[in-house]
Amino acid sequence: MSISLHIHGAAGTVTGSCHRLVTPHGELLIECGMFQGPKSLRTLNYRRFPFDASAIEAVLLTHAHIDHTGLFPKLALAGFRGKAWTTEATRDLLHWLLPDAGAIQEGDVDRLNRRNSRRGEPPVAPIYTRIDAEASLSQLAVQGYDSWFEPLKGVRARLRNAGHILGSAFVEVEVDSRPQPLRLVFSGDIGPREKALQPDPSMPDPCDILLLESTYGDRLRQRLSETERRALLGRELRDALKAGGNLIIPVFAVERTQEILDDIARLRRDGELGAIPVFLDSPLAGRTTEVFRRHRRALERGADGTVFTGGDFRLTETVEQSKAIGRIHGGAVVLAGSGMCEAGRVKHHLKDHLWRPDSTVLFVGYQAPGTLGALIREGVPRVRIHGEEINVKARIRAIDSYSGHADRDELVEWARPLLATLGSALLVHGEPDALQGLAGSLSAAGLERSRIPIPDLDQAFDVVFHDGRWQAVPSQAAAAPRLAPAQASASRDWHNDYAAALLDLRNALRQESDDRRRQQLLDEVRRLIGSHRAGRRSDSPARRAAPSGQ
């Protein structure tokens, strides 16, 4: 039996990470992530896996972020019966994250089904429920860093520190094969130097095939020390409060929340920030922070017991407590999830504050294209939240130095020890410009450009031994992709443009001088729709084939 590698996610985009390794000894899945971003991409979460889940014998999870783990309960429902190997800290984080993801889906589907019922449309089901997610947790298996283990006979694996978030790892895999063992490295997400809470990533050992994340593959970030980064946050906090309104910080429940809390606590201890109210409006973030405390010895400075101390943070557990924050119109800092503003309580705070010129929204994390967070950061004048049109008048600010991803030069330096032996470096987990930028940088560092394929969604590669080394060669027998490459990598889709068009139409109607002109505009829109429908009917095969007069 041959060896093949199948890229089922994070291809031309940064979410949905999922890679399937088919070996003579069995099939493994590395990651099982959820797609985020434009609706056409998120729709993939509801479709069947492009493989037989029951044929997967083991899963390797690099870290707890939902775009790397969020479809694992769906995999279990689809027939996976093996173990998913990961670190202890990742296991403990997933104990909260996966059930929360199921609960969010149940809530979203409940709201959608109420609308569908009013429209006469059929109900839909969540991808999985909280109970489904809780059931899948029994299949998680813990493995420490730097020790080889056998997820299945004939295949060894080792988890190495990736420096991205608590418990994060990259995975080294060795397949017993002929004429020599095959070595692969799956990077997961590689953290930067000067990460707030995490040590620098370990360096990988030589391998034949590398799958390398490319989130910031075309960018260099400003190099800030920990002290400089904290001072920058302090300035943003003071400026936001000076403006008179509240400061809303969309945060991910894992790592970004804890980094911001730690820096605010230190700013207070150092006398750089007064006793302002800081609300952590995310029960999930509160629970994951407890996981960080439990694993604090794995953190930078964690052994001295000072992480997260001195903060006097106010955790809101209930919906009523969250709504009470909405009655505070100035002088407060609110950290709320989700980090890309796609779900959770932050959407309610954005509804309350985006239209206020004295309020501030501070982005401290990556915003995937097509998400609400990305649209706001790009500077759109209006957005729709929960079906309501909101004008964006608030101060929109961003700090990129909290990123959990290595930038272009850091990625090249991390991969440099591998370049001499690599047969292929497949670039994943990046947008098109980032993928091309990193490919160019790796080529400049000495790796032949022909050895740096950029996979499309669901593309398959045959792993063959040629010219004294293992290489990944595009397969001629690959199945059709679930999305065309242009759709998978699009930063916006028709759903985004539809929402924007509705806002533009409403604004245009408001700006007309009287009802007669408003009616003329609506009539013109209807005529365009009618012409479009007529054109579709005349272009249909049945119409073209019908004899004249029928």
Phi, psi of 417 (to 5 degrees): -60, -15
Alpha carbons 65 and 42: distance in angstroms, whole number: 16
Distances (CA, A) of 474 to 208, 426, 463, 477: 16, 11, 9, 9
pLDDT computed for residue 542 by the predictor: 46
Same domain, 268 and 144: no
pLDDT computed for residue 478 by the predictor: 67
Beta bridge partners of 427: 212
Domain end marker among 488, 508, 525: 488
Alpha carbons 497 and 305: distance in angstroms, whole number: 49
Same domain, 451 and 383: no
Residues near 165 by Cβ (< 8 Å), separated by ≥ 6? Answer: 63, 64, 65, 189, 191, 198, 254, 255, 404
Same domain, 300 and 349: yes
- Single-letter amino acid, residue 35: F
pLDDT computed for residue 370 by the predictor: 78
Same domain, 408 and 271: no
Note whether residue 174 is domain-resident. yes
Same domain, 294 and 366: yes
Same domain, 386 and 254: yes
324-380 pLDDT, tens digit each: 998 898 999 999 988 889 888 899 999 999 999 999 999 998 787 778 999 999 999
Note whether residue 346 is domain-resident. yes
Phi, psi of 335 (to 5 degrees): -95, 125
Note whether residue 30 is domain-resident. yes
Note whether residue 150 is domain-resident. yes
Note whether residue 508 is domain-resident. no
Q: For residues 31 and 19, is the Cβ–Cβ distance under 8 A?
A: yes
Nearest to 364 by CA among 394, 337, 384: 337
pLDDT computed for residue 347 by the predictor: 92
Residues near 444 by Cβ (< 8 Å), separated by ≥ 6? Answer: none
- The tally of domains found in the chain comes to 2
Q: For residues 257 and 309, is the Cβ–Cβ distance under 8 A?
A: no
Beta bridge partners of 175: 155, 182
Report the CATH number that the domain containing residue 412 is assigned in CATH.
3.60.15.10
Give the DSSP per-residue string, 13-58. Answer: SSS---EEEEETTEEEEE--PPP-SSHHHHGGGGSPPSS-GGGEEE
Note whether residue 501 is domain-resident. no
Domain end marker among 398, 424, 449: 398
- CB-neighbour burial class of residue 343 (10 A; exposed 0-12, middle 13-18, buried 19+): middle
Omega into 338 within 30° of 0, i.e. cis?
yes
Same domain, 324 and 371: yes
Alpha carbons 390 and 124: distance in angstroms, whole number: 28
pLDDT tens per residue, the chain (550 residues)? Answer: 699 999 999 999 999 999 999 999 999 999 999 998 888 888 999 999 999 999 999 999 999 999 999 999 999 999 999 999 999 999 999 999 999 999 989 988 888 888 888 888 898 899 999 999 999 999 999 999 999 999 999 999 999 999 999 999 999 999 999 999 999 999 999 999 878 788 999 999 999 999 999 999 999 988 888 889 999 999 999 999 999 999 999 998 899 889 999 999 889 888 898 888 999 998 898 899 899 989 988 887 665 555 665 557 888 888 889 889 988 989 999 999 888 898 888 999 999 999 999 999 999 987 877 789 999 999 999 998 987 889 999 999 999 888 889 999 999 999 999 999 899 999 999 999 999 999 999 999 999 999 999 999 999 999 999 989 999 999 987 678 898 877 776 666 666 677 677 777 877 887 888 888 888 888 888 888 878 777 766 665 544 333 333 2
pLDDT computed for residue 543 by the predictor: 40
Same domain, 253 and 134: no
Alpha carbons 309 and 368: distance in angstroms, whole number: 32
Same domain, 319 and 171: no
Helix (H, G, I), strand (E, B) or coil at 201: coil
Same domain, 379 and 425: no
Domain end marker among 457, 488, 519: 488
Q: Which two tokens stand for residue 206?
A: 């030589």
Report the CATH number that the domain containing residue 245 is assigned in CATH.
3.40.50.10890
Same domain, 244 and 339: yes
Q: Put residue 467 in one of left, alpha, beta given phi > 0 → left and psi -120 to 50 → alpha.
A: left
Note whether residue 533 is domain-resident. no
Same domain, 9 and 65: yes
Note whether residue 530 is domain-resident. no
Residues near 11 by Cβ (< 8 Å), separated by ≥ 6? Answer: 428, 455, 456, 457, 458, 459, 488
**Structural domain of 336:** 226-398
